[in-house]
Structure 1
């Protein structure tokens, strides 16, 4: 068996990064075109009374409510998912309740520190597995058995599932992430910032904070942790980071 040298590993990593960047940009741009094509098709090729002004107004209304996530989600997901995982995640969707938990569990299982190349590779593999399981389960439990399952489930069970399943998943992700990162200071800062924003700031300026509370919490946490970080901390050679 031929030993793999550091130079070989670096070359493989560069090729992997270059390939995922090219195909990631191409597939995401294709998805962007498909996602935004329909209103312009209706405007240009049908007799539906829709104007460009109406499309623009609708876009601005949605952007005002959700535009903050265009910045918050990439910043918060990137250290965990890595470059290739980000391309996959934003193409597949269901990031916070499916792909992120899968990546965190995979990284925790192999002891990979978030923000490293090892963690990035683990996240990519975990996302592939999560997407495969998701598609198969959708085909079986929704495509084949979906209507039948809905008819036999009592309404109270459905109501409980709708109310508690997502919070339970997200709560488990938070706990798993805290246990994986094992950084008491960052965890403490995030909790304190969240408490301050929700209970000390929102009651006084709810209109301003309501739509941006997540962004405010993320930005404040990142800023505080960054300026209070240990600048002498070193990263093991096996855990080479993919971000500077």
Structure 2
């Protein structure tokens, strides 16, 4: 019990540190990202009206606003609190960081939503970002122009067309195998098919298809879950204190 208490205290310190510095770094990143547009608006003499800025923001919010809500709700159960700061600072979450986190969790045999799952996500995202930066430096910074000149254009188009479905397909299979929740997987597949069919018949629905699919899948999976199972994470023991953020 003493060891579990010490672990609980260490995780509490970890949560406080990541929450504090996560907020600070996100605010700094926001300031840097807005500094160049702010300079163009107020100091570059481009005669940009504030009303035009709000109109453009409203147009973008109408299209992508739902993603601002859906993405954090979708990623948090898998990544955890500390990894969310990393993910939204780095970017490329769905096609790079999320697959890395899920593969890491499956490899070491932990479940999303647990403290071990969160810590494995942190390590996986650090590794993915490091590999990304090194590969960008080598294959884009040093060899980018040469590679583009020697690779046939049709191959480049084929890679651009199929690379994302390939990555996402592998991640979906990995998630189904590692989670061992066939009922939830079937529900997600059925909901996705219905949403895609509706989006094809009614084009404006496509703007909200992701939100509808996520919310409908989560709701149905909850109500249709196997109520006989306790849902206790496999990587906890009786001596450990409850999982979750500690403040």
Query: The TM-score by the shorter chain falls in which range?
Result: over 0.9
TM-score by length of 2: 0.91
- 2:224 counterpart residue number: 228
Structure 1 consecutive aligned stretches of length 4 or more whose deviation exceeds 6 Å = none
TM-score by length of 1: 0.92
- 2:104 counterpart residue number: 106
- 2:203 counterpart residue number: 206
- 2:79·2:121 contact (CA, 8 Å) conserved in 1? yes
In the alignment, the residues of structure 2 paired with residue 48 and residue 236 of structure 1 have an alpha-carbon distance, to the nearest angstrom, of 57
Match of 1:195 among 175, 193, 196: 193
Equivalent residue pairs, number: 239
- 1:84·1:124 contact (CA, 8 Å) conserved in 2? yes
Q: 1:34 to 1:14 in 2, by over 3 A?
A: same
Q: CA deviation at 1:221?
A: 0.6
Q: CA deviation at 1:228?
A: 2.4
Match of 2:71 among 65, 70, 73: 73
- 2:104·2:124 contact (CA, 8 Å) conserved in 1? yes
Further displaced range: 108-117 or 230-239: 230-239
- 1:163 counterpart residue number: 161
- 2:114·2:233 contact (CA, 8 Å) conserved in 1? no
- 2:48 counterpart residue number: 50
Q: CA deviation at 1:178?
A: 1.1
- 1:219 counterpart residue number: 215
- 2:110·2:235 contact (CA, 8 Å) conserved in 1? no
Q: CA deviation at 1:206?
A: 2.8
In the alignment, the residues of structure 2 paired with residue 17 and residue 4 of structure 1 have an alpha-carbon distance, to the nearest angstrom, of 20
Q: CA deviation at 1:237?
A: 7.3
In the alignment, the residues of structure 2 paired with residue 152 and residue 4 of structure 1 have an alpha-carbon distance, to the nearest angstrom, of 62
Q: CA deviation at 1:62?
A: 1.4
Gapped regions of structure 2 (runs ≥ 5)? 237-241
Q: After the TM superposition, which residues 167-178 of structure 1 pair with which residues of structure 2 at under 5 Å, given as runs? A: 167-178=165-176
Q: CA deviation at 1:205?
A: 3.6
- 1:85 counterpart residue number: 83
Gapped regions of structure 1 (runs ≥ 5)? none
Further displaced range: 92-101 or 32-41: 32-41
- 1:39·1:55 contact (CA, 8 Å) conserved in 2? no
Q: How far does the alpha carbon of each residue in 1:139-171 deviate from its partner, in whole angstroms, 9 at most, with x for none? A: 111011111111111111111111111111111
Q: Which has the higher contact order (CA 8 A, sep 6+)?
A: 2
In the alignment, the residues of structure 1 paired with residue 162 and residue 243 of structure 2 have an alpha-carbon distance, to the nearest angstrom, of 36
Q: CA deviation at 1:36?
A: 2.5
